[in-house]
Amino acid sequence: MNDRLFDVWVYLSASPLAGLTLTLVAYQAGLWAFERCGRTPLVNPVLIAVVLIIAALKILGVDYKTYFDGAQFVHFLLGPATVALAVPLYNQFQQVRRSAGAMLAALAVGSMTAAGSAVALGWLFGASERTLLSLAPKSVTTPIAMGISEQLGGLPSLTAVFVILTGIVGGTLGSGVLNLVRVTDWRARGFGMGVAAHGIGTARALQVNETAGAFSGLAMGLNGLATAVLLPVLVRVLW
Amino acid sequence: MLGPITILLVCQLAGEMTVRVLALPVPGPVLGMLLLFAGLLARRGVPRPLTEVAGGLLRNLSLLFVPAGVGVVAHLGRLSDEALPIAAALVGSTVLSIAVTAWVMAALLRRGGKEPGA
């Protein structure tokens, strides 16, 4: 019997099926909790899934690399999903074109606020230089953020973690913050989410309103571009 | 279902290759999004199957961030050593930039004219 259990264990740890299934099951649990709590953004399915998976990996003594061998199939879909953002963007193109001026101004202000305030707050509370440089691109979508971080001298994998945490913070608190500053325009709400909280903010915006989702997806792409171009120059001048 | 997936992957691949050939500071998928967008503009409409597949992917967009999020485990040491500055920077800066960006945009939109269809 023990031998057979061992065989099962060997199979599971060698096959990508376990990591993949664990990801989906944990996310379903997160979604279930989200629905049960009346779809409040304060219950974030990504956060719940991440915590459950980390707990499972710790208990089973499985390392991240082994887990990722399976989970990479989910991770891979981020690429096609980003391409798919062209569809809501196209559907909302009339609105996007009409608000282009306001969008570019908000992008410039938002992009610099996101990077500048992260570094300033981190510095104020005594973060190390490595951490500060890894924090700077935290509002940008993961692949661009990792590239910028490397260019600046940060740790790309640490930046990836900051990016996800930023998204979770934005997805969780974003709606409340937007209500607090009394922004009711869906275009502006979505754009703010996309600039500050990239894809996870966009996922949240899409849940609420298609216009907000389209502006958020566009904001995510634009802020990636703006930060990739501006931040390395800014850091070289100021550092 | 197969058609739209092929379209998405072709756009992504074209994006990835262009980015590498021209050494652009943009990820391939973002350029792929612009390519697909240009294609939709040229075609003047979204084919129904593409609407369905794109909608399915985007409805579950947050699931796709879970594997990268679990990467937190590799940095637990640094995260707990610098917990306060990291938490302050992430929460403070994210909240601030959502508020500032949306506020600036809403103010400019109000000045520019009425919100259509709101």
Q: Among A85-94, A152-161, A199-208, B24-33, which stretch is predicted with the lowest mean pLDDT?
A: B24-33
Instruction: Name the range with the highest mean pLDDT among A16-20, A95-99, A111-115, A232-236.
Output: A111-115
- Do B46 and B79 sit in the same domain of this protein? no
- Do B37 and B81 sit in the same domain of this protein? no
Q: How far apart are CA A106 and CA B104, in angstroms?
A: 6
Pick the residue with more confidence: B49 or A225? B49
- Do B90 and B53 sit in the same domain of this protein? no
Mean pLDDT of A28-47: 92
- Do B54 and B79 sit in the same domain of this protein? no
Residues of B in contact with A117 (CB under 8 A): 89, 92-93, 96-97
Question: Nearest CA to CA, how far is A14 from chain B (Å)?
Answer: 18
Contact B31, B24 (CB under 8 A): yes
Mean pLDDT of A100-124: 95
The reply to whether residue B12 touches residue A79, judged by beta carbons under 8 angstroms, is yes
Instruction: Please list, in sequence order, all residues whose beta carbon lies within 8 angstroms of the beta carbon of residue B20, skipping any fewer than 6 positions away.
Output: B28
Give the angle subtended at the CA of A82 by the CAs of A81 and A88, to the nearest 5°: 85
The reply to whether residue B33 touches residue A183, judged by beta carbons under 8 angstroms, is no
Question: Nearest CA to CA, how far is A3 from chain B (Å)?
Answer: 31
Interval A169-215: pLDDT, tens: 999 999 999 999 999 999 999 999 999 999 999 999 998 998 999 99
- Do B97 and B118 sit in the same domain of this protein? yes
Looking at B59, B85, B108, which one is the last position of a domain?
B59
- Do B17 and B38 sit in the same domain of this protein? yes
Q: How far apart are CA B118 and CA B78, in angstroms?
A: 46
Residue A203's CB: how many other CB atoms inside 10 A? 27
Looking at B36, B59, B82, which one is the last position of a domain?
B59
- Do B1 and B53 sit in the same domain of this protein? yes
pLDDT band at A130 (very low <50, low <70, confident <90, very high): very high
**pTM beyond cutoff 0.95:** no
| Rg of chain A, C-alpha, whole Å | 19
Q: How far apart are CA A183 and CA A77, in angstroms?
A: 32
> How many Å separate Cα A191 from the centre of its chain?
15
**Confidence check: pLDDT of A127 > 80:** yes
CB nearest to A121's CB, from B29, B41, B89: B89
Domain of B88 in residue numbering reads as 72-118
Interval B52-99: pLDDT, tens: 999 999 888 889 989 989 988 889 888 999 999 999 999 999 999 999
CA dihedral A189, A140, A48, A172 (to 10 degrees): -20
- Which of B10, B65, B114 to mutate against chain A (most A CBs within 10 Å)? B65
Mean pLDDT of chain A: 91
Pick the residue with more confidence: B20 or A14? B20
Residues of A in contact with B11 (CB under 8 A): 83, 86
- Do B51 and B7 sit in the same domain of this protein? yes
pLDDT at A1: 61
Domain count for chain B: 2
Residue B87's CB: how many other CB atoms inside 10 A? 16
Residues of A in contact with B75 (CB under 8 A): 157-158, 161
**Confidence check: pLDDT of B116 > 60:** no
- Which of A90, A148, A211 to mutate against chain B (most B CBs within 10 Å)? A90
- Do B39 and B78 sit in the same domain of this protein? no
Task: Give residue B97's identity as a one-letter amino acid code.
Answer: S
Residue B64: inside a domain, yes or no? no
Residue B65: inside a domain, yes or no? no
**Confidence check: pLDDT of B102 > 60:** yes
Residue B29: inside a domain, yes or no? yes
CB nearest to B102's CB, from A64, A142, A189: A189
Interval B6-54: pLDDT, tens: 999 999 999 999 989 998 777 788 889 899 999 999 999 999 999 999 9
pLDDT at A180: 96
DSSP 8-state class, residue B63:
G
> How many Å separate Cα B110 from the centre of its chain?
26
pLDDT at B113: 61
pLDDT at B117: 47
DSSP 8-state class, residue B71:
G
- Do B94 and B118 sit in the same domain of this protein? yes
Looking at B14, B31, B59, which one is the last position of a domain?
B59
- Do B118 and B91 sit in the same domain of this protein? yes
Burial class, B94, CB count within 10 angstroms (exposed 0-12 / middle 13-18 / buried 19+): buried
Please choose, from the candidates B62, B72, B74, B67, the residue with its C-alpha nearest in 3D space to the C-alpha of residue A70: B67
pLDDT at B47: 94
Residue B8: inside a domain, yes or no? yes
Burial class, B80, CB count within 10 angstroms (exposed 0-12 / middle 13-18 / buried 19+): exposed
Question: Nearest CA to CA, how far is B85 from chain A (Å)?
Answer: 5
Mean pLDDT of A100-105: 94
Contact A148, A136 (CB under 8 A): yes
**Confidence check: pLDDT of B118 > 50:** no
pLDDT at A148: 87
- Do B4 and B55 sit in the same domain of this protein? yes
Please choose, from the candidates A135, A231, A237, A232, the residue with its C-alpha nearest in 3D space to the C-alpha of residue B93: A135
Q: Return the number of CB contacts < 8 Å for A and B.
A: 339
